[in-house]
Structure formats: structure tokens, C-alpha cells
Copies of this chain bind each other. A is one copy, B any other.
Amino acid sequence: MVQDKKQAILKGVLKLVNRVGFYHISMKMVAAEAGVAAGTIYLYFKGKEELINELYTMIVSEFNESVLDAYDQDSPIKEVYRAMMSRAVLFYLNNKDYFSFIEQYTYAPFLFKENQEQNFMLLLPLYKMMRAGKKQKMIKNLPDAVLLSMVHGPMNTMLKMHFARKTDLTKATVQNKFYNACWEAIAAHN
């Protein structure tokens, strides 16, 4: 019962991210969207900051669940790579509001207080895969940051362009072209 209302409030924020944009969200709007009174929010969250931070934590754990369980120690690394990218892209395509929220949260005023370290937690699944690939000599022996940027960066930009309707991410393009192009950037060419 208590959780129902808390979830309704969190979901309310998400809906508003798309409808009015991160920085126009007021507590009154959240209350209206969630079907509660303004004061009720403060029974479940200390304040706006905690509300936003909890939502972020929720999204991060959902994302990691979705992507990390594609990590099968025994599969060839290229397949792990493909599975992870696939899951990550699908996760955001199916949850535009998550993507928008994450993008904007990164630069939110709140962040500059304590959560700055959490900021790259979303990259941990990819990070793990990279290290395995380097050991197997399947992936270039480059600094982690370089490799990470080579798969996270394109995904991010693609999604941004897709959601801004600058391009259409068809399944075929993503699966047959995009993943391969990124792979060629990070793969060791022996």
C-alpha cells in the first residue's frame, strides 16, 4: 500500500520528464501526475533532491539487471559484446523516459553534491566485458576509457539522434551495421 504511492510518485516524475522536460518539473506537477497532494510527497521522500536521486538509483539498477545478465562467462567475447549492446540499446529504446532522465540527471544541480561517483555506474557492465576481451586478446589493448567511449559514445549519440527524430533506428540497421561498426573500432586486428 505504502509502496504503491511511492511508485506512483516516481513514475510521475518519469512521465513529466518527457512531457515538460527535467527542469520544468515542479513538486506540484509531480503531485498532480501521481494523484496525490503536494504534502504527501514529503511523507515518502525527504525532498526533491532525494526524490530525484532515488529515481536515478532505480533506473541504474533496472539497467544493470537488464544488461548484466547477458554476460555469460563462457560465450565468445564478440557474442557477449553483441548481447550487451543489444540489451542496452533495447532498454533505452523501450524506455525513452529513462534515457531522457539519465541524460539530464548527469548535469543536474543535485549531482554535484555527493552522487558524482555513481555517475559512471551505468558503464560497469561494458567495462567488465572489455577487460575480459583484452585478456583474450580479442579486444585492443587500449585504456579502458578509450574502449568504453568507443561503444558507449556511439550508442548514446545514436539514441539521441533517434529520439530527436534526426534518424530512424531501424532494427536492421542497428543489428547488421551499427554493432559491427562499433566492434571494428574496439576489436584487435591480428
Contacts and interface: CB of A to CB of B under 8 A. Distances in A.
Interface of A: 21-24, 103-104, 107-109, 112, 116, 119-120, 140, 142-146, 148-150, 152-158, 161-162, 164, 166-167, 173, 177-178, 181-182, 184-186, 189
B178 A146 contact: yes
B148 A157 contact: yes
A26 B3 CA distance: 38
Most buried by B among A103, A158, A162: A158
Given A156-B156, A166-B145, A184-B184, A109 B150 contact: no
A24 B161 CA distance: 27
A51 B36 CA distance: 38
